[in-house]
Amino acid sequence: MGIYRQLALGAPFTLDLRKATSIVDGKYRDAVRKQRYGCQMNELTKRVEQWYRDNREKLGEHFSKAEFHDKTDWDPIRGGVNIELEGPGPAWLTIAVWNKGDVSAGALKTGWKDPVWIEDRVLGPTEDIASLLDSCLERFSELVQLPR
């Protein structure tokens, strides 16, 4: 009987971590990140929200649409926050910061075949999120030739 069937039926099972599936590996990585970053995970998304509040007026001047979505409540590790911006052209920038410490920022413009990934990595525990977000905006502006 497979491990998923055993889990669904509530049957006892043994698990060799060296042969664990990617789902189990992902949960292990999340546990390691939670142990490593501790309460900093929630602080990370709070700093992103604070940056958005501080820059809302500036974003409104340059973008026709600026939205902030908080998805931290649904999962303390895999939850996160998104900033979605729409500029002239039209061009879009989406920045996602996850509780577990990942950040991704993708830009897309009408006529482009694929998005351009400005950031896609794991943040360091002491990294300044405000300067990272400012850098993403600057690189997006350069990519789509937005006025500053």
The model's pLDDT over 24-71, given as tens digits with 9 standing for 90+, comes to 445 555 555 555 544 445 678 889 999 999 999 999 988 999 999 988
Backbone angles phi, psi at 14, to 5 degrees: -115, 150
pLDDT score, position 123: 87
pTM, entire model: 0.69
Residue 3 gets the label, from left (phi > 0), alpha (psi -120 to 50) or beta, of alpha
48/42 Cα distance (integer angstroms): 10
Report the candidate in 87, 94, 89, 143 with the shortest Cα–Cα distance to residue 111.
Answer: 89
pLDDT score, position 87: 87
The model's pLDDT over 85-105, given as tens digits with 9 standing for 90+, comes to 998 878 999 999 988 888 999
pLDDT score, position 70: 86
47/53 Cα distance (integer angstroms): 10
